């Protein structure tokens, strides 16, 4: 199994899940700006869309899109408790979170990473994100993780996306519950190891 990733971007989420589940996989670093691998080969030959993550299974089949990948990985190792069983309401709650994170948080950051975005667009984007982040803080006010007491793949994803706040001028200390959440997730050994490998630890 291979995971194509780029440090600090959304592929950190499945990288964390791999380590939380204890699944061995080859990590292949991608320059997502030049679309090349470390050996100089063309990443677009692997994924014409050019982005990460891509999970390549042992049979050569590819799986794309972070929320799909993390659920696949969780289902490979159900004993790790990273996703509730399929068909349960708890699983639908997990999917609810994954969809919210990918559509309402992840994609909303896009204008902030685009150098051509006007300042007015960036300001409006920050305001929109702040409202959505405030909602997340409300949900986590009485529980340690998105689904309750158990860390799940949704937390790997949420942690990854909230890490971007610092670089775009959003201070999570404005929401103490989220600042505490980020510290709690960051302290997990699997998370620390994924971040160390990606060169993200200071």
Q: Taking a C-beta distance cutoff of 8 angstroms, is the pair 56, 1 a contact? A: yes
Asked if the structure places residue 16 within a domain, the reply is yes
Asked if the structure places residue 55 within a domain, the reply is yes
Q: What local confidence, expressed as pLDDT, does residue 171 receive?
A: 97
Q: Tell me, yes or no, whether 150 and 123 share the same domain.
A: yes
Give strand pairing partners of 37.
30
If one counts the domains in the chain, the total is 2
Q: Residue 45: give the domain boundaries.
A: 2-80+191-197
Q: What local confidence, expressed as pLDDT, does residue 76 receive?
A: 98
CATH number at residue 126: 1.20.1050.10
Asked if the structure places residue 175 within a domain, the reply is yes
Asked if the structure places residue 177 within a domain, the reply is yes
Walk along the chain (202 residues) and give the pLDDT tens digit of each residue: 999 999 999 999 999 999 999 999 999 999 999 999 999 999 999 999 999 999 999 999 999 999 999 999 999 999 999 999 999 999 999 999 999 999 999 999 999 999 999 999 999 999 999 999 999 999 999 999 999 999 999 999 999 999 999 999 999 999 999 999 999 999 999 999 999 999 999 7
Q: Tell me, yes or no, whether 143 and 180 share the same domain.
A: yes
Q: Tell me, yes or no, whether 95 and 166 share the same domain.
A: yes
Q: Tell me, yes or no, whether 144 and 108 share the same domain.
A: yes
pTM: 0.97
* Long-range CB contact pairs, 69-74, < 8 A, 24+: 69/14, 69/17, 70/13, 70/14, 70/17, 70/98, 70/153, 70/156, 70/157, 71/95, 71/98, 71/153, 73/14, 73/17, 73/18, 73/21, 73/23, 73/153, 74/17, 74/21, 74/152, 74/153
Q: What local confidence, expressed as pLDDT, does residue 202 receive?
A: 72
Asked if the structure places residue 202 within a domain, the reply is no
Q: Tell me, yes or no, whether 64 and 9 share the same domain.
A: yes
- Distance in angstroms between the alpha carbons of the first and the last residue of the chain: 29
């Amino acid at each position: 199994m291979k995971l194509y990733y780029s440090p600090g971007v959304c592929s950190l989420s499945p990288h964390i899940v791999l380590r939380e589940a204890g699944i061995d996989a080859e990590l292949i670093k991608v320059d997502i700006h030049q679309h090349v691998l470390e050996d100089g080969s063309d990443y677009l030959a692997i994924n014409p869309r050019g982005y990460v993550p891509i999970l390549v299974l042992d049979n050569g089949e590819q799986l794309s899109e972070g929320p799909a990948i993390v659920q696949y990985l969780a289902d490979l190792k159900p004993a790790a408790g990273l996703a509730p069983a399929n068909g349960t309401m708890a699983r639908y709650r997990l999917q609810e979170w994954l969809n919210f994170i990918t559509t309402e948080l992840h994609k909303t950051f896009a204008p902030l990473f685009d150098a051509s975005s006007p300042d007015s667009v960036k300001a409006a984007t920050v305001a929109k994100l702040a409202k959505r982040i405030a909602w997340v803080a409300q949900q986590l006010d009485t529980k340690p993780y998105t689904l309750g007491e158990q860390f799940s793949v949704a937390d790997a994803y949420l942690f990854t996306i909230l890490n971007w706040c610092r670089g775009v001028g959003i201070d999570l200390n404005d929401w103490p519950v989220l600042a505490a959440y980020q510290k709690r997730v960051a302290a997990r050994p699997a998370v620390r190891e994924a971040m160390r490998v990606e060169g993200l630890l200071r």
